Amino acid sequence: MLVTRVLPYDDPTRQSQQAWKLGSGLVLALVYLALATLVALSTYTLSTIANTPLFMGLNLQTFTSNQFNVPINVVLKGETALPLASTQPLDATLSLSTLLYKLCKKDDQACAASFLPSSNEIWRSVVKALALIPSFDQPLFQDPTQTVVISHINNLSGWNKPMAQMYISGHDMAITCMVRRASFYVATSSPSTAVIDSVVFCSQRKFDPNWVCENDVSEDANTYALRIGKGEARYLGVAPRSDVYMNPGYLATFRNEAATVRLNTLTFFDEYQYGMLRTFAPWDLLPAVSCATFNTETGLGWLFMCKGLVTMIWESDALMLSNSAVLWLLTAYLVALQLVFLRHSAICSVPVYMSKTVVGLAILFVSFYGNMNLQALTTYLSMKPSAETPKYYKWLGAAQLASIVGIMTGPLIQMWFNPRLVTQTWLLLVFSLVNWSLVFVLEAFVFPARSRIVPGPCYHASSSNCFAFDAIAHTYYASAIASASVVIVAILCVNVHSSYCKRDKVKAAATNSVLGYLEISDLSSVLTSPHGLLVSTADGAIGIDHGVLLVKNMLQVSDMVLTRTSNVQYELIYRLLPTTFLRTLFSRSIGSIRIVSVDRTRILRQSSFKHLHEMDLGSRHWSPYFT
């Protein structure tokens, strides 16, 4: 019996490397199968959360974390004064909703300036409406001998956050107000009678000479609600701030002398990254607002602090579910081929086969093409974590893309060297894992951390606020560049290693049957390097790894037969059939297959046609090399 051993090279470390490399093709194939399984699992999970509401639970936005920056088209700041003795009526065409829905184009200062007179008049009407409030915290603001100064601000994005500070010169207390949309009805009536309208909420606050938009007060502070429109003002009632702040979905009770009114927030829709991701939630009726870090140049720093019960909808029409299934089945088939026919080979069938088809390239292209959508999901889930959803959701997109890149690293390297086989399987393994790690870290951690939430264009007409992740426009293709760079480095390493191995003096004999079958005189014409593929037997003969025949799309399937790789699926199915009858029936139905005869370790170069049951496919005694 012939015994396989590794040739004793001059470098003693190379002997152990040689032994490890024999069979490394199977190791690489199993790694690719693990990555393909990860692609399938991540894609399936993504498909279950796409285009369907996903409850994210309670979401807390603060001034320092999980920030909500008010989207700004153009900032309108104004200041006006109103003598409380004035009897000028409110223009019936103006209302609080006028402040709420005014839309100007981005940085359109002329539009903002033209709206200033209307804005001044509406806020003056709010000051006059304070006279309707009985037992008001600051009766001085109801004194007709006083003059109230109003500072106000608006973002003019079409779904606005108008706010104001009202003060009297020399008085240490002020009134801060904010206009919000709300649903309300008289408590003695049915909830079906609820009216949706714009309401201004006002509370006393210490006068702030540097006021920009702040409205924070204590939780027990009285919050007054007023409705103004069609030339009329109506006082709805008063409630503690805790009823409308940090209390999402709560049905607040506002009381006045005439009736009790129930107020509730509405469900607001926010969209991100051109509508790729949407959220809807009942938020607090009234948030706390800060402009301590507001920068008019960047439009960032106008911040809310509030809670909401958020539901997310990630919209995607390119989930790759079918692509991932194809990739997994193809990889599983090639691993089965490797396991059955090339178990001890240093050549891996996966990169060799996939380098000759467009399937892998097409899947890789589609993955990078749709990466902006995946990055939108990853970035949102990283910025706004939820206790209601599994933490690993934010890594699904990164795992999918990284695994596809990892699988395709070997085929891309092999593609560069076609028609020669890349025999440095250990390099393919190392760079496949490096590429997977690189892309996963970039997509899961680096790119989401680089993004900020900034105002963006609206894709859906029903959206209340529209945002974009500012880094995605530059990062969605960055992984493609990074992984391509790794492939280039890998190609250079293969070339360097091949040049280094040319110093090896061990060569296959000219009489080796593989050289005769391939009609070549030197393996370097079909391999990047014969290093690791040459073994010696006890009788001194030098054998060549039988995986080399993949260069000609041939495989040894038994002691006596070589056949084309396109026929191997029939051999695999034949082996799985449980009975001789079924095997013979299957063999007859397939018909005869052209084969090349083998005499154990030598290729005879005699071709003929045989049925599957005539090929002795049950044997597992053939040598892993040819002499």
The verdict on 450 and 306 lying in the same domain is no
Mean pLDDT for 251-278 is 94
Least confident of 92-101, 287-296, 519-528: 519-528
Q: Does the residue 508 lie in any domain?
A: no
In the chain, the amino acid numbered 316 is S
Question: Would you say residue 22 has pLDDT above 70?
Answer: no
- 374 SS3 class: helix
Average pLDDT over residues 559-571: 89
Is 304 a domain residue? yes
How many whole angstroms separate alpha carbon 264 and alpha carbon 251?
5
Instruction: Tell me which residue range forms the domain holding 191.
Output: 60-314
Kindly indicate the confidence band of residue 540, based on its pLDDT and cuts at 50, 70 and 90.
Answer: confident
Q: Which of 483, 502, 521 is the last residue of a domain?
A: 502
Query: Are 486 and 522 part of one and the same domain?
Result: no
The pLDDT of residue 620 is 59
Most confident of 10-19, 85-94, 446-455: 446-455
Eight-class DSSP state of 527: B
CA atoms within 13 A on the CB side of 215: 32
pLDDT value at position 21? 40
Does 427 fall in a domain? yes
Q: Are residues 64 and 35 in the same domain?
A: no
Q: Note if the bond before 419 is cis, omega within 30 degrees.
A: yes
Whether residues 434 and 333 fall in one domain: yes
pLDDT of residue 235: 97
Residue 138 reports pLDDT greater than 80 = yes
- The answer on 334 and 249 residing in a single domain is no
Given pLDDT bands bounded at 50, 70 and 90, which one contains residue 503? confident
Residue among 100, 123, 126, 291 nearest 214 (CA):
291
| 320 shares a domain with 366 | yes
Please, which residues have CB within 8 angstroms of residue 186's CB and are 6 or more apart in sequence? 193, 259, 260, 261, 262
Q: At what angle do helices 396-417 and 24-49 cross, to 10 degrees?
A: 140
- How many CB atoms sit inside 10 A of residue 297's CB? 5
Same domain, yes or no: 275 and 335: no
pLDDT at 8: 40
Say if 362 falls within a structural domain. yes
Note the pLDDT of residue 11.
39
The pLDDT, as a whole number, for residue 6 is 39
Whether 444 and 533 share a structural domain: no
Residue 591 forms part of a structural domain: yes
Are residues 378 and 423 both part of a single domain?
yes
Burial class (CB in 10 A: 0-12, 13-18, 19+), 481: exposed
Question: Does residue 405 surpass a pLDDT of 70?
Answer: yes
Please report whether residue 537 resides in a domain.
yes
What's the confidence (pLDDT) of residue 538? 63
Split into its structural domains, the chain has a count of 3
* SS3 of residue 585 by DSSP: helix
Condensed to tens digits (0 to 9), the pLDDT of residues 349-391 reads 999 999 999 999 999 999 999 999 999 999 999 999 888 899 9
Q: Which residue has the higher pLDDT, 626 or 158?
A: 158
Q: Are residues 586 and 620 in the same domain?
A: yes
pLDDT for the residue numbered 513: 87
State mean pLDDT over 26-51: 96
Q: Give the residue, 533 or 183, on which the prediction is more confident.
A: 183
Q: What is the pLDDT of residues 111-134, one digit of tens each?
A: 999 999 999 999 999 999 999 999
Tell me, yes or no, whether 10 lies in a domain.
Answer: no
Angle at 78 between CA 137 and CA 264, to 5 degrees: 50
pLDDT over threshold 60, residue 414: yes
Task: With a cut of 50, say whether residue 15 has pLDDT above it.
Answer: no
pLDDT in tens, 541-558: 788 888 999 999 998 888
Say if residue 335 is in the same domain as residue 214: no
State yes or no: pLDDT of 20 exceeds 60: no
Using the predicted structure, report yes or no on whether residue 12 has a pLDDT greater than 80.
no
Name the domain boundary from 457, 478, 502.
Answer: 502
8 Å CB contact between 421 and 526: yes
2 pLDDT above the threshold of 60:
no
Q: Which residue, 296, 314, 332, sits at the end of a domain?
A: 314
Residue 237: burial class (beta carbons within 10 Å; 0-12, 13-18, 19+): buried
421-464 per-position pLDDT tens digit? 999 999 999 999 999 999 999 999 999 999 998 888 889 988 98
pLDDT in tens, 464-487: 899 999 999 999 999 999 999 999
Residues 492 and 583 reside in one and the same domain: no
pLDDT in tens, 285-325: 999 999 999 999 989 999 999 999 999 999 987 768 999 99
> Looking at the domain assignment, is residue 16 inside a domain?
no
Amino acid at 525: S
Model confidence at 1: pLDDT above 70: no
pLDDT digits (tens, 9 = 90+) for 209-235: 999 999 999 999 999 999 999 889 999
Higher pLDDT, 362 or 15: 362
Report the b/e string of 146-168 with b at 16+ CB within 10 A: eebebbbbbbbbbbbbbbbbbbb
pLDDT score of 621: 61
Asked if 56 contacts 283 with a C-beta cutoff of 8 angstroms, the reply is: no
Output the average pLDDT for the chain: 91
